[in-house]
Amino acid sequence: MSLVFHQSGDPASVLQWEPFAPQPPKVGEVQVRMLYAPINPADLNYIEGTYGKQPAFPAVPGNEGCGRIEAVGAGVERLSVGDVVIPTKALGCWSEQVTAPEYQWIRLPAEIDPIQASMLRVNPVTAWQMLHSFRELRPGDFVVQNAANSGVGRSVIQIAQHLGLRTINFIRRMELKNELLALGAHYIFPDSDEGLNAAKEAVPDANIQLALNAVGGDSALRQMELLTANGAQVTYGAMSRRSLKVPNKYLIFKNLELRGYWLTLWMDHAPVSELQKVLLPLAEMMRTGSLKLPVAKVYPIQEFASAILEAREDGRDGKIILKIA
Protein backbone atom coordinates (compact mmCIF):
# COMPACT_ATOMS: atom_id res chain seq x y z
CA MET A 1 0.00 0.00 0.00
CA SER A 2 1.07 3.59 -0.69
CA LEU A 3 -0.25 7.08 -0.25
CA VAL A 4 -0.77 8.29 -3.82
CA PHE A 5 -2.05 11.47 -5.44
CA HIS A 6 -3.14 11.77 -9.06
CA GLN A 7 -3.42 15.55 -9.16
CA SER A 8 -2.11 18.48 -7.15
CA GLY A 9 -4.31 19.98 -4.49
CA ASP A 10 -5.21 19.91 -0.81
CA PRO A 11 -3.19 16.99 0.63
CA ALA A 12 -5.99 15.79 2.90
CA SER A 13 -8.28 15.58 -0.13
CA VAL A 14 -6.13 14.35 -3.03
CA LEU A 15 -4.15 11.66 -1.20
CA GLN A 16 -5.44 8.09 -1.41
CA TRP A 17 -4.30 4.93 0.35
CA GLU A 18 -3.91 2.59 -2.62
CA PRO A 19 -2.61 -0.96 -3.10
CA PHE A 20 0.38 -1.69 -5.27
CA ALA A 21 2.34 -4.83 -6.12
CA PRO A 22 6.02 -4.32 -5.23
CA GLN A 23 8.39 -5.93 -7.70
CA PRO A 24 11.48 -7.89 -6.59
CA PRO A 25 14.60 -5.71 -6.60
CA LYS A 26 16.57 -5.71 -9.85
CA VAL A 27 20.33 -5.81 -10.21
CA GLY A 28 21.88 -3.24 -7.90
CA GLU A 29 18.60 -2.46 -6.13
CA VAL A 30 17.33 -2.99 -2.58
CA GLN A 31 13.76 -3.25 -1.32
CA VAL A 32 13.06 -1.41 1.92
CA ARG A 33 10.18 -1.85 4.33
CA MET A 34 9.49 1.70 5.48
CA LEU A 35 8.96 2.14 9.22
CA TYR A 36 8.39 5.84 9.90
CA ALA A 37 8.24 9.08 7.91
CA PRO A 38 7.71 12.67 9.06
CA ILE A 39 5.36 15.18 7.49
CA ASN A 40 7.47 18.14 6.39
CA PRO A 41 6.23 21.44 4.94
CA ALA A 42 8.02 20.50 1.71
CA ASP A 43 5.93 17.32 1.49
CA LEU A 44 2.70 19.31 1.71
CA ASN A 45 3.95 21.88 -0.81
CA TYR A 46 4.91 19.04 -3.18
CA ILE A 47 1.38 17.63 -3.02
CA GLU A 48 -0.12 21.10 -3.47
CA GLY A 49 2.06 21.70 -6.53
CA THR A 50 3.85 24.71 -5.01
CA TYR A 51 7.27 23.10 -4.37
CA GLY A 52 10.44 23.64 -6.38
CA LYS A 53 9.95 20.24 -8.03
CA GLN A 54 6.70 19.24 -9.71
CA PRO A 55 5.27 15.70 -9.35
CA ALA A 56 4.85 13.22 -12.18
CA PHE A 57 1.51 11.52 -11.67
CA PRO A 58 0.65 9.22 -10.10
CA ALA A 59 3.02 10.37 -7.37
CA VAL A 60 3.94 9.12 -3.90
CA PRO A 61 5.07 11.84 -1.47
CA GLY A 62 7.50 11.50 1.40
CA ASN A 63 10.79 13.35 1.27
CA GLU A 64 12.44 11.38 4.05
CA GLY A 65 11.91 8.38 6.27
CA CYS A 66 13.54 5.36 7.88
CA GLY A 67 13.19 1.72 6.92
CA ARG A 68 14.73 -1.73 7.05
CA ILE A 69 16.02 -3.67 4.06
CA GLU A 70 13.95 -6.77 3.37
CA ALA A 71 15.40 -7.89 0.01
CA VAL A 72 18.47 -7.17 -2.13
CA GLY A 73 19.07 -7.67 -5.83
CA ALA A 74 22.09 -9.21 -7.50
CA GLY A 75 25.23 -7.13 -7.38
CA VAL A 76 24.40 -5.31 -4.13
CA GLU A 77 27.63 -5.05 -2.14
CA ARG A 78 27.29 -2.39 0.56
CA LEU A 79 23.90 -3.20 2.10
CA SER A 80 22.30 -6.35 3.53
CA VAL A 81 18.89 -7.62 4.56
CA GLY A 82 18.04 -6.24 8.00
CA ASP A 83 20.05 -3.02 7.68
CA VAL A 84 18.40 0.16 8.97
CA VAL A 85 18.57 2.75 6.18
CA ILE A 86 17.40 6.19 5.12
CA PRO A 87 17.11 7.45 1.53
CA THR A 88 19.48 10.04 0.10
CA LYS A 89 16.76 11.39 -2.20
CA ALA A 90 13.01 11.92 -2.12
CA LEU A 91 11.95 8.38 -3.08
CA GLY A 92 8.32 8.50 -1.99
CA CYS A 93 8.64 7.32 1.60
CA TRP A 94 4.89 7.36 2.33
CA SER A 95 4.70 3.78 1.16
CA GLU A 96 4.96 0.40 2.85
CA GLN A 97 7.78 -0.61 0.53
CA VAL A 98 10.25 1.36 -1.55
CA THR A 99 12.64 -0.18 -4.08
CA ALA A 100 15.57 1.88 -5.35
CA PRO A 101 19.27 1.53 -6.29
CA GLU A 102 21.65 0.72 -3.47
CA TYR A 103 23.51 4.02 -3.82
CA GLN A 104 20.34 5.91 -2.89
CA TRP A 105 20.37 4.52 0.65
CA ILE A 106 22.62 5.14 3.66
CA ARG A 107 23.00 2.50 6.38
CA LEU A 108 22.62 3.77 9.95
CA PRO A 109 23.62 2.23 13.30
CA ALA A 110 21.30 -0.67 14.10
CA GLU A 111 20.47 0.70 17.56
CA ILE A 112 19.37 4.15 16.38
CA ASP A 113 15.81 5.20 17.23
CA PRO A 114 13.93 4.73 13.92
CA ILE A 115 11.54 7.61 14.65
CA GLN A 116 14.45 9.99 15.16
CA ALA A 117 16.26 8.49 12.17
CA SER A 118 13.26 9.21 9.96
CA MET A 119 13.92 12.94 10.54
CA LEU A 120 17.68 12.83 9.99
CA ARG A 121 18.03 13.66 6.32
CA VAL A 122 16.30 17.05 6.04
CA ASN A 123 16.53 19.34 9.06
CA PRO A 124 19.80 18.15 10.65
CA VAL A 125 21.57 17.95 7.29
CA THR A 126 20.36 21.43 6.37
CA ALA A 127 21.73 22.74 9.67
CA TRP A 128 25.05 20.90 9.28
CA GLN A 129 25.57 22.10 5.73
CA MET A 130 24.82 25.73 6.51
CA LEU A 131 27.19 25.68 9.48
CA HIS A 132 29.99 24.22 7.33
CA SER A 133 29.53 25.63 3.82
CA PHE A 134 29.48 29.43 3.98
CA ARG A 135 32.05 30.55 6.53
CA GLU A 136 34.99 28.84 8.20
CA LEU A 137 33.85 28.90 11.80
CA ARG A 138 36.00 28.08 14.80
CA PRO A 139 35.11 27.04 18.36
CA GLY A 140 33.81 30.06 20.23
CA ASP A 141 32.47 31.81 17.14
CA PHE A 142 28.90 33.12 17.08
CA VAL A 143 26.08 32.15 14.74
CA VAL A 144 22.77 34.03 14.73
CA GLN A 145 19.49 32.46 13.61
CA ASN A 146 15.76 33.11 13.61
CA ALA A 147 13.02 30.46 13.91
CA ALA A 148 15.31 28.82 16.47
CA ASN A 149 12.53 26.56 17.74
CA SER A 150 11.98 24.98 14.30
CA GLY A 151 13.39 21.60 13.32
CA VAL A 152 16.35 23.21 11.57
CA GLY A 153 16.77 25.73 14.38
CA ARG A 154 16.93 23.06 17.07
CA SER A 155 19.38 21.11 14.92
CA VAL A 156 21.56 24.22 14.54
CA ILE A 157 21.64 24.67 18.32
CA GLN A 158 22.67 21.07 19.01
CA ILE A 159 25.18 20.79 16.17
CA ALA A 160 26.71 24.16 17.04
CA GLN A 161 27.07 23.01 20.64
CA HIS A 162 28.80 19.85 19.38
CA LEU A 163 31.18 21.96 17.27
CA GLY A 164 31.94 24.42 20.06
CA LEU A 165 30.06 27.31 18.42
CA ARG A 166 27.84 29.80 20.25
CA THR A 167 24.34 30.60 19.04
CA ILE A 168 22.25 33.75 19.23
CA ASN A 169 18.66 32.67 18.75
CA PHE A 170 15.52 34.64 17.94
CA ILE A 171 12.07 33.13 18.50
CA ARG A 172 8.46 34.30 18.55
CA ARG A 173 7.35 32.11 21.47
CA MET A 174 9.45 33.01 24.50
CA GLU A 175 7.80 30.25 26.54
CA LEU A 176 10.18 27.90 24.70
CA LYS A 177 13.26 29.67 26.05
CA ASN A 178 14.17 27.14 28.76
CA GLU A 179 13.61 24.24 26.40
CA LEU A 180 16.09 25.67 23.88
CA LEU A 181 18.58 26.57 26.59
CA ALA A 182 18.51 22.91 27.65
CA LEU A 183 19.50 21.95 24.09
CA GLY A 184 22.59 24.15 24.30
CA ALA A 185 21.43 27.57 23.09
CA HIS A 186 23.60 30.37 24.47
CA TYR A 187 21.38 33.42 23.96
CA ILE A 188 17.65 33.61 23.23
CA PHE A 189 15.73 36.77 22.40
CA PRO A 190 12.27 37.61 21.09
CA ASP A 191 12.24 38.17 17.33
CA SER A 192 11.47 41.88 17.57
CA ASP A 193 13.24 45.23 17.67
CA GLU A 194 13.35 44.94 21.45
CA GLY A 195 15.01 41.56 21.09
CA LEU A 196 17.56 43.02 18.69
CA ASN A 197 18.46 45.74 21.19
CA ALA A 198 18.78 43.14 23.95
CA ALA A 199 21.12 41.08 21.76
CA LYS A 200 23.30 44.11 21.06
CA GLU A 201 23.59 44.74 24.80
CA ALA A 202 24.30 41.08 25.62
CA VAL A 203 27.04 40.56 23.02
CA PRO A 204 28.22 44.07 22.06
CA ASP A 205 31.59 43.01 20.68
CA ALA A 206 30.65 39.67 19.10
CA ASN A 207 32.18 38.92 15.71
CA ILE A 208 29.16 37.39 13.97
CA GLN A 209 30.04 36.13 10.51
CA LEU A 210 27.05 33.84 9.81
CA ALA A 211 23.30 34.38 10.02
CA LEU A 212 20.74 31.70 9.16
CA ASN A 213 17.43 33.09 7.97
CA ALA A 214 14.21 31.08 7.77
CA VAL A 215 11.78 33.98 8.13
CA GLY A 216 12.60 36.90 5.82
CA GLY A 217 11.10 40.38 6.12
CA ASP A 218 12.02 42.47 9.16
CA SER A 219 13.45 39.45 10.98
CA ALA A 220 16.09 39.10 8.27
CA LEU A 221 16.97 42.79 8.54
CA ARG A 222 17.56 42.42 12.26
CA GLN A 223 20.08 39.69 11.50
CA MET A 224 21.87 42.00 9.06
CA GLU A 225 22.12 44.60 11.80
CA LEU A 226 23.95 42.08 14.00
CA LEU A 227 26.30 40.70 11.34
CA THR A 228 29.79 42.13 11.26
CA ALA A 229 31.52 43.36 8.11
CA ASN A 230 31.88 40.73 5.37
CA GLY A 231 29.42 38.42 7.11
CA ALA A 232 27.03 36.10 5.28
CA GLN A 233 23.30 35.69 5.63
CA VAL A 234 21.98 32.36 4.35
CA THR A 235 18.27 32.21 3.56
CA TYR A 236 16.68 28.76 3.58
CA GLY A 237 13.05 29.59 4.29
CA ALA A 238 10.44 32.36 4.15
CA MET A 239 8.06 31.76 7.04
CA SER A 240 6.88 35.38 7.10
CA ARG A 241 6.13 35.20 3.35
CA ARG A 242 7.85 38.57 3.07
CA SER A 243 10.68 39.21 0.63
CA LEU A 244 14.08 40.54 1.53
CA LYS A 245 14.29 44.30 0.95
CA VAL A 246 17.89 45.07 1.77
CA PRO A 247 18.89 48.60 2.79
CA ASN A 248 21.88 49.76 0.76
CA LYS A 249 23.94 50.40 3.90
CA TYR A 250 24.30 46.68 4.60
CA LEU A 251 25.79 46.09 1.16
CA ILE A 252 27.91 49.21 0.90
CA PHE A 253 29.27 49.66 4.41
CA LYS A 254 29.17 46.08 5.69
CA ASN A 255 29.73 44.28 2.39
CA LEU A 256 27.35 41.55 3.48
CA GLU A 257 27.01 38.43 1.36
CA LEU A 258 23.44 37.20 0.80
CA ARG A 259 23.15 33.53 -0.08
CA GLY A 260 20.43 30.92 -0.42
CA TYR A 261 20.40 27.25 0.51
CA TRP A 262 18.17 24.46 -0.81
CA LEU A 263 19.05 21.01 0.52
CA THR A 264 17.46 19.18 -2.42
CA LEU A 265 19.89 20.77 -4.88
CA TRP A 266 22.90 19.51 -2.92
CA MET A 267 21.40 16.08 -2.32
CA ASP A 268 20.69 15.61 -6.03
CA HIS A 269 24.33 16.08 -6.99
CA ALA A 270 26.44 14.94 -4.02
CA PRO A 271 28.15 11.54 -4.36
CA VAL A 272 27.48 8.86 -1.74
CA SER A 273 30.89 9.43 -0.14
CA GLU A 274 30.07 13.09 0.46
CA LEU A 275 26.62 12.27 1.80
CA GLN A 276 28.14 9.78 4.24
CA LYS A 277 30.57 12.42 5.56
CA VAL A 278 27.56 14.45 6.66
CA LEU A 279 24.97 11.82 7.54
CA LEU A 280 27.12 9.42 9.54
CA PRO A 281 28.36 11.98 12.13
CA LEU A 282 24.80 13.19 12.52
CA ALA A 283 23.55 9.62 12.91
CA GLU A 284 26.13 9.05 15.64
CA MET A 285 24.97 12.21 17.43
CA MET A 286 21.41 10.94 17.16
CA ARG A 287 22.38 7.49 18.39
CA THR A 288 24.04 8.91 21.51
CA GLY A 289 21.24 11.39 22.19
CA SER A 290 23.25 14.57 21.59
CA LEU A 291 20.96 15.31 18.63
CA LYS A 292 17.26 14.85 19.23
CA LEU A 293 14.26 16.34 17.46
CA PRO A 294 10.86 16.75 19.13
CA VAL A 295 7.89 14.64 18.07
CA ALA A 296 4.38 15.98 18.60
CA LYS A 297 2.50 12.80 17.69
CA VAL A 298 2.82 9.55 15.77
CA TYR A 299 -0.12 8.54 13.55
CA PRO A 300 -0.71 5.25 11.74
CA ILE A 301 -0.33 6.07 8.08
CA GLN A 302 -3.94 5.05 7.45
CA GLU A 303 -4.93 8.11 9.53
CA PHE A 304 -3.04 10.41 7.17
CA ALA A 305 -5.87 12.95 6.85
CA SER A 306 -5.86 13.66 10.60
CA ALA A 307 -2.07 13.67 10.64
CA ILE A 308 -1.91 16.26 7.86
CA LEU A 309 -4.44 18.51 9.57
CA GLU A 310 -2.37 18.50 12.76
CA ALA A 311 0.86 19.01 10.81
CA ARG A 312 -0.60 22.25 9.45
CA GLU A 313 -1.38 23.69 12.88
CA ASP A 314 0.68 26.60 14.20
CA GLY A 315 2.27 26.39 17.61
CA ARG A 316 2.89 22.67 17.36
CA ASP A 317 5.86 21.42 19.41
CA GLY A 318 7.50 18.81 17.22
CA LYS A 319 6.99 16.83 14.05
CA ILE A 320 3.99 14.76 13.07
CA ILE A 321 5.23 11.26 12.19
CA LEU A 322 3.54 8.61 10.06
CA LYS A 323 3.97 5.05 11.36
CA ILE A 324 4.08 2.89 8.26
CA ALA A 325 4.97 -0.58 9.54
Largest CA distance in the chain: 63
Q: Please give the single-letter amino acid code of residue 205.
A: D
- Give counts: helices (H), strands (E), the chain: 12, 15
Contacts of 266 (CB under 8 A, 6+ apart): 129
Q: Is 95 helix (H, G, I), strand (E, B) or coil?
A: strand
- Contact call for residues 256 and 225 (beta carbons, < 8 A): no
Annotated active-site positions, please?
51
Gap between the Cα atoms of 289 and 58, Å rounded: 38
Gap between the Cα atoms of 189 and 311, Å rounded: 26
- Contact call for residues 60 and 87 (beta carbons, < 8 A): no
